[in-house]
Structure 1
Amino acid sequence: MKGRSMNVIEAKATDRKDLTGPALRTFFRIAEAWGLKEQEQMRLLGLDSRSTYQSWKRGAIAALPKDALERISYVMGIYKGLHILLPKTADEWVRKPNKARVFGGASALDRMMSGNVADLYVVRQYVDGQRG
């Protein structure tokens, strides 16, 4: 293996175990910064079950599924990119209406709330594109 620069999405089960705690703690800090309600957090994580969400929030999970790690990875990238682009208003930006074509007048959070990983990817690509 060429170094340890493995993509979070491609993480093996043992690596996912190691990433689970830090990923969840980071996600919940971002959720707090963005003022996300429980339902919004669940949607971003791809969860239908409130009891699963509560377990994850308590850290009572051995290893996150790949899908959840991918989602958290996109959220982290969006958060980081926004704080580089808009240091003072980054956390508010996700809820503001956006005229960019990919948002069609809706907010980035509205786009991310579709429940599809692909929409998290689109928002991440948009933010990265704005960074240049």
Structure 2
Amino acid sequence: MAPPTHPATPLDRKALSGPALRTFCRIAALWRLSEDEQRTLLGLTSRSTLREWKRNPDMVLPKDTLERISCILGVYKALQPLLPDEKAADAWVRRPNSAALFAGHSALDKMLSGKIADLFIVRQYLGTHHGGWV
């Protein structure tokens, strides 16, 4: 009997990369992210890398990029039940926030630190306000 496979094994990165990047691009459009903001959220320094990924449907994203996209998707999904008006949910990421975590800045400002930990923290923050992990 073969051992069970985990859906995030390195062998699955190719299968996950295209759908993950397409989902990220849809969220980026809804959140009106600039190309620089997109690169920062994905942990990229090169403009050409992001452009090449978008042109090449057969690319394989690095594991950390998939983790970043997972956090961003988690933020997006958590906002939907918290703010059922889609436009309000999408605008929330740019609005100043008085919660201690954000100190008057927006969630996007926090996520644009470039650290994957800050993406996770925003996702976790929204998960606790949704009544559990998202």
TM-score (norm 2): 0.90
- The aligned residue for residue 128 of structure 2 is 129
Partner AA of 1:86 in structure 2: L
Cα RMSD over matched residues?
1.3
- Does structure 1 retain, via aligned residues, the 8 Å contact 2:24–2:69? yes
Q: 2:14 aligns with which of 12, 17, 22?
A: 17
Structure 2, unaligned stretches of length 5 or more? none
Aligned length: 127
Q: How many angstroms apart in 2 are the aligned matches of 1:30 and 1:59?
A: 19
How far off its partner does 1:61 sit? 5.0
> Could you tell which deviates more after superposition, 119-128 or 50-59?
50-59
Amino-acid identity (%): 57
User: Is 1:55 equivalent to 2:52 in the alignment?
Assistant: yes
Moved >6 Å (runs of 4+): none
Q: TM-score, normalised by structure 1?
A: 0.91
Q: 1:13 offset after TM fit, Å? A: 2.6
Give secondary structure in 2 for the equivalent of 1:105: coil
Structure 1 regions of 5+ residues with no counterpart? none
- Secondary structure of residue in 2 paired with 1:22: helix
Structure possessing the higher radius of gyration over alpha carbons = 2
